[in-house]
């Protein structure tokens, strides 16, 4: 079945460090891929998405590229800030379905 596996945390980085959070997926066909962010006590916010192979989603300095050959959608940011501290979820929606499949989340803490 469809599923998402993402890098376990927690991840702690110093401000301005480079961030990578790994995400791989299992799905039939061509799903759409997403990264959501959840700040403490809040719901999910869409960070970026990609709907077909080789698409790059980007927002607020974060990027992820849809890699069909490696079934991956790794999240990257060149220089993290304290305000980026949150839990990040990788997710997919199958091209023939209507529900999201989420990973278990990766907690990121950025220290000054």
Q: Which residues bind other proteins (CB under 8 A)?
A: 4, 32, 36, 42-46, 49, 51, 89, 91, 93, 97-105
Q: What's the distance, CA 20 to chain centroid?
A: 9
By the 10 Å C-beta count (0-12 exposed, 13-18 middle, 19+ buried), 84 is classed as buried
Residue closer to other proteins by CB (options 70, 98) is 98
Smallest distance, other proteins to C-beta of residue 27, A:
14
Q: Do 80 and 19 meet the contact criterion of CB atoms below 8 Å apart?
A: yes
Residue closer to other proteins by CB (options 60, 79) is 60
What is each CA distance from 91 to 13, 30, 65, 96, 100, in whole angstroms?
Answer: 23, 13, 13, 15, 6
Smallest distance, other proteins to C-beta of residue 9, A:
10
Smallest distance, other proteins to C-beta of residue 42, A:
6
Smallest distance, other proteins to C-beta of residue 15, A:
26
Greatest distance between any 2 Cα atoms in the chain: 44
Residue closer to other proteins by CB (options 67, 97) is 97
């Amino acid at each position: 079945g469809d599923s998402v596996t993402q890098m376990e945390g927690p991840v702690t980085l110093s401000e301005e460090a480079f961030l990578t959070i790994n995400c791989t997926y299992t799905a039939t066909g061509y799903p759409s891929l997403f990264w959501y962010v959840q700040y403490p006590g809040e719901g999910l916010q869409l960070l970026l998405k990609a709907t077909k192979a080789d698409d790059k989603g980007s927002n607020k300095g974060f990027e992820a590229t849809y890699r069909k050959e490696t079934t991956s959608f790794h999240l990257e940011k060149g220089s993290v800030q304290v305000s980026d501290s949150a839990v990040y979820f990788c997710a997919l929606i199958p091209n023939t379905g209507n529900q999201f499949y989420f990973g278990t989340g990766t907690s990121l803490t950025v220290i000054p």
